[in-house]
Structure 1
Amino acid sequence: MKIDTVILDWAGTTVVFGCFAPVNVFLTIFEDAGVSVSLEEARKPMGMLKINHIRTMLEMPRVSEEWKKVYGRAFSDGDVQALYGQFESKLMASLATYTDPIPHVLDMVQQIKLAGIQIVSTTGYTDSMMDVVTSQAAIKGYKPDFLVTANQVGNIGRPYPYMIFRNMEKLGTKSTKQVIKVGDTTSDIHEVLNAGVWAVGVIIGSSEMGII
């Protein structure tokens, strides 16, 4: 069956080499809270909806224990919300500067479109974050045909497959066998496995590569 849909992730896959925009903010908000986290801990949940990323970091045994030492109690949902509020504010202040297409992406997209294949996208960013990213990326030459965020599927992002399915619904794609999803994080791959589409993992420019 012929591939007719390619779904691309954003940060670390098509824009923002190394995913440094969100990673730097995750490190900052935990530092401001008095809880030290490592670069590896900040990167491990990459690709998830950002509030879920923060919750996942807080659930890590070492980070959870560190939080208890600092605050004398386990973290709460209120703590998650407070950290996310700080994350969103700090990210939005710098996001426009982190929208450069990764090398060779524009050439790749052109070749895919010349082959008659539709290019759409999913992301771990919210609608408001993507308003900034998409407008700036378009100025720099990158504009996929469609975008789905977790906000558009009941805030149920990766590793759930619903953003992929919404893209398929929009394009009228008949079969998961006609779809390739490209991403740079384990969350992307879990999303792919749950959707039953083809997977392509990105190394160069990825969040994982950004550790080095």
Structure 2
Amino acid sequence: MSTAVRLAALDIAGTTVDEGGAVYRVLAEVVTDHGATPEDEDIRRWMGADKREALRALTGRAEVEDLHTEFVDRLRAAYAEVPPRPCAGVPEALAALRARGVAVVLTTGFDRQVTDPLLEVVGLEVDGVVCAEEVGAGRPSPAMIRRAMGLTGVDDPAEVLAAGDTVLDVEAGLAAGAGLVVGVLTGAQTRRELEAARPTHVLDGVADLPELLGLAVGTR
């Protein structure tokens, strides 16, 4: 690609942060405790989505604010018990991107109640964070990526690299017209699942992004 990347829009859970799959375990527990009987495939279909949208789809309820509050409380308890941490090589990769003028914005289906405490724990240095609730649409909508572009002054989607660990992440990147759309294998979805969504690349993890862009990763 001849156009230089100026923005990396990256998912959080399973992409930049290893949280042990707690988000989907807790999601399944909440909907099951409220009478739904989701199969594993049902949960997988909503990986990367806005969590309120996922709760509506999985329970068939139009109003899910009480379920979302319960989800947030349970997830924060799970994170307190087993604190999340950056995925391997991510702090170094993000530092390499930012050192070469690539802005890094994290995008997530979490709301601020979960996102802010989570990022305080993992301590990643980024240029911005966009939550689905702030743009009125979760993935596969490109709205979060477009907000990230607005935050960083990037007008051309060809200058955007979008990366995530789910099919919905890939679909959002494609919908945004991102120049590079990368699926990563640090989350719960497989190479086959990601490749079926037709990203431009599938990598082992965000740690490989500097190499993809021809950037050196320094040691800390």
Deviation per CA, 1:53-81, whole angstroms, max 9, x where unpaired? 122334xxxxxxxxxxxxxxxx4324x44
| Higher strand proportion | 2
Q: Partners in 2 of 1:192 and 1:113 — Cα distance?
A: 20
Correspondence for 2:8: 6
Correspondence for 1:146: 128
RCO higher in structure (CA 8 A, sep ≥6)? 1
The structure 2 residue matched to 1:182, chosen from 163, 176, 182, is 163
What is the SS of the residue equivalent to 1:180? strand
The structure 2 residue matched to 1:110, chosen from 95, 102, 118, is 95
Q: Which is higher, the Rg of structure 1 or of structure 2?
A: 1
Q: Partners in 2 of 1:51 and 1:174 — Cα distance?
A: 30
Q: Give yes or no for contact 1:48–1:157 (8 Å, CA) kept in 2.
A: yes
Correspondence for 2:139: 158
| Higher helix proportion | 1
Relative to structure 1, is the Cα distance of residues 133 and 35 closer, same or farther in structure 2, using a 3 angstrom cutoff?
A: same
Segments of 5+ residues of structure 1 without an aligned counterpart are: 59-74
Segments of 5+ residues of structure 2 without an aligned counterpart are: 191-220
Deviation per CA, 1:138-182, whole angstroms, max 9, x where unpaired? 1xxx221110111221x3121111111111111111210100011
The structure 1 residue matched to 2:148, chosen from 149, 152, 167, is 167
Relative to structure 1, is the Cα distance of residues 98 and 185 closer, same or farther in structure 2, using a 3 angstrom cutoff?
A: farther
Q: Partners in 2 of 1:50 and 1:93 — Cα distance?
A: 17
* TM-score, length of structure 1 as denominator length: 0.80
The structure 2 residue matched to 1:136, chosen from 117, 121, 126, is 121
One-letter code aligned to 1:93: A
Q: Partners in 2 of 1:168 and 1:76 — Cα distance?
A: 33
Q: Partners in 1 of 2:140 and 2:36 — Cα distance?
A: 27
The structure 2 residue matched to 1:200, chosen from 178, 182, 204, is 182
Correspondence for 2:41: 40
Q: Give yes or no for contact 1:148–1:163 (8 Å, CA) kept in 2.
A: yes
Q: Partners in 2 of 1:28 and 1:127 — Cα distance?
A: 21
